[in-house]
Structure 1
Amino acid sequence: MPSWFTNLTVGQILAFSLGVLLVLGLFVKLWKTIRPVWRGVREFLEDWRGEPARPGVPERPGVMTRLHTIETDVAELKPKVAAIDHEVHPNSGASLRDTVDSIQVELREHIAQQQG
């Protein structure tokens, strides 16, 4: 054995052991605090990147893939929404709304004639 080791007193060995235990205890406490935060960060990153398909588990696309899908779907819906908007607002007489308003006016006139 090295001479420095054989020259240690019981107090020095106890102090060293206590120091090691204290450092380990602090490390465990710190790890218990950091671990849930790290788990959340890891889950966020997994969701961001997505996961490839595995046997029995479908692919989970990442955020950027999902965002691209949403943008594509919105681009496809814009003309349809514009067509619906055209039909439900009064305009030059070519919309469904104009036709319904015209029928309503004619119906009121017909009812007034029948009652009058």
Structure 2
Amino acid sequence: MSDFLADLSILDVGLALGALAAVWAVVVRVARVGRKLSHVADDWLGEPERDGVPARPGVMERLAAIEQRVTVIEHEVRPNSGASLRDAVDRVERRIVGGDQ
């Protein structure tokens, strides 16, 4: 072991420290990217409820809720069996136009 240390130069030590610094920089960058990917996965999949924090639905669950709301809105803005908001507006319009003549 002492022969190994005796054969080391300052240049060798500097190169080793530089290599360790480069490896550390790569590890830090990979950890940052991994953390960001973890946040994306949490947003996509959602998070269960835990102490003091409400559950957060994932993207697919939120899309399903949006589709349900859009279906209700479409029902109201298109004429159908007379129960939609569009049908009510059409009835009022017919009364107003019919009353002006």
Normalising by structure 1, what TM-score?
Answer: 0.63
Deviations 1:27-84 (Å, cap 9, x if unpaired)?
Answer: 2323444444333222111111111011221110111111111112222332222223
Q: Which amino acid aligns with 1:59?
A: A
Q: Secondary structure at the match of 1:40?
A: helix
Higher relative contact order (CA 8 A, sep 6+): 2
Q: Which amino acid aligns with 2:98?
A: S
Spell out the pairing of 1:1-116 with structure 2 (5 A cutoff): 5-8=1-4, 10=6, 12=8, 14-82=10-78, 83-88=84-89, 95-103=91-99, 105-106=100-101
Q: How many residues align?
A: 96
Runs of 4+ in structure 1 displaced over 4 angstroms?
none
Percent pairwise identity: 26
Normalising by structure 2, what TM-score?
Answer: 0.70
Gaps of 5+ in 1: 90-94, 107-116
